[in-house]
Amino acid sequence: MSKIMKGPLTEFPIIKTKVSNVTKKFDLTDPAQRKEYFESKVGAEIGKLKKYLKENTFIAYLLGKKNSGKGTYTKLMGEIFGADKIGHISVGDLVRATYKDIEDPIKRKEIMEYLEDHYRGYISIEDAIDALIGKNQKVLLPTEFILALLKREIDKFDRKVIFIDGFPRDLDQVQYSLYFRDLANYRLDPDIFVAINIPESVLDERMRNRVVCPTCQAPRNLSVFPTKKVGYDKDTKQYFLICDNPECGGARMVSKEGDTAGIESIRERLDLDDKLTKKVMSLHGVPKVLLRNAVPVDSVKNNIVDDYEVTPSYIFKHEEKTGEVNISEEPWIVKDDEGNDSFSLLAPPVVVALIKQLVQALKL
């Protein structure tokens, strides 16, 4: 069951994840309990998809704003169905990796040979490479070049479902995505657009309070995803997270440069993402999966979602006598993009909605 809640882009369904006969509260941070959670919530749907994936695949284009959870959702799909069945390609990471590989003579030769066989475009391969490495600032990296890199990466996958993150990246790339499956010669399995609707207030909080370990680069969030140990700086009167990785020796996690400015520092990118999603939503002939990160605050009371599926906010209290920092939880209430009080969902219930809609999109 689901009901429709109008969002700023289009109508995104609120998928009911609460199951009446499931009373256990799962710890969604624990892999073993997550497995039990998914089986309890969408066991039948998982079974249908596993049967489908024995002989078939599909390509899914992930559309969502920066930090909307695309990589996290894909990892959870791999956790459920197996890394041998689920593949993820980040176009941004792919371009950056190619930039690095071009500096290696052997890898450069391999890339050039592949491009000579598969690249078709309005500028030469050499000019495209110059645009990639920034040697020619007047030439933009052409979409046809990115398509060739994507196809090369896809060729490395052996019969996997592929979640593509970052394509289409611009309005002119939407038309390419309609036929990319055929261009990539990835059989005739379905292609699906997966759009993620997430309030900007959630993105802003994730960005402003994001910290990373300077040693292992593990990311966390001071307000909604803390580590087990939290410290208190008496000089600045600020709390800080201590990396959980024992190899980091209790490293103090730090903010990334520019994050404290919040989403306004990436406003242009967010606005373009909105336009991209609107354009894709207007397309016909391609199945669409619509995912919501946030639900109305009455969703728990109305038995739409379970309380443990809601993202908590963490409250820190410094004890003067012991020097310890106590951590407590409370519901994190955010404003959606229409100004309504909402709960932000943890990743697993969003993946439950993804699985339910994939079964429908694939007509299983």
* Token output for 108: 């450069």
Same domain, 75 and 105: no
Return the percentage of the chain with pLDDT > 70, whole number.
Answer: 92
- Does one domain contain both 232 and 328? yes
End position of a domain, from candidates 159, 180, 212: 159
Structure tokens at 222: 């001071």
One domain, residues 13 and 134: no
Q: Which residue has the higher pLDDT, 282 or 82?
A: 82
- 264 vs 194: CA distance, rounded Å: 25
For the chain, give the percent of residues with pLDDT over 90.
48
Q: Which of 144-153, 301-310, 319-328 has the highest mean pLDDT?
A: 301-310
For residue 348, the tally of other CB atoms under 10 A from its CB is 23
Strands 341-344 and 11-15: unpaired
- The answer to whether the bond into 168 is cis (omega within 30° of 0) is yes
∠ CA 299-303-309, rounded to 5°: 65
184 has a pLDDT exceeding 60: no
Residue 149 is part of which domain span?
Answer: 89-159
Residues 24 and 129 in one domain: no
**Is the domain of 184 the same as that of 279?**
yes
Residue 147: φ, ψ to 5°: -60, -40
- The count of structural domains within the chain is 2
Query: Is the pLDDT assigned to residue 298 strictly greater than 50?
Result: yes
pLDDT in tens, 311-320: 999 999 999 8
Which secondary structure element, helix H or strand E, spans residue 145, and what is its range? helix 143-154
Name the helix (H) or strand (E) containing 88.
Answer: strand 86-90
**Residue carrying the six token digits 């060729």:** 155
Could you tell me the pLDDT band of residue 183, with boundaries at 50, 70 and 90? low
Domain final position from 101, 131, 159: 159
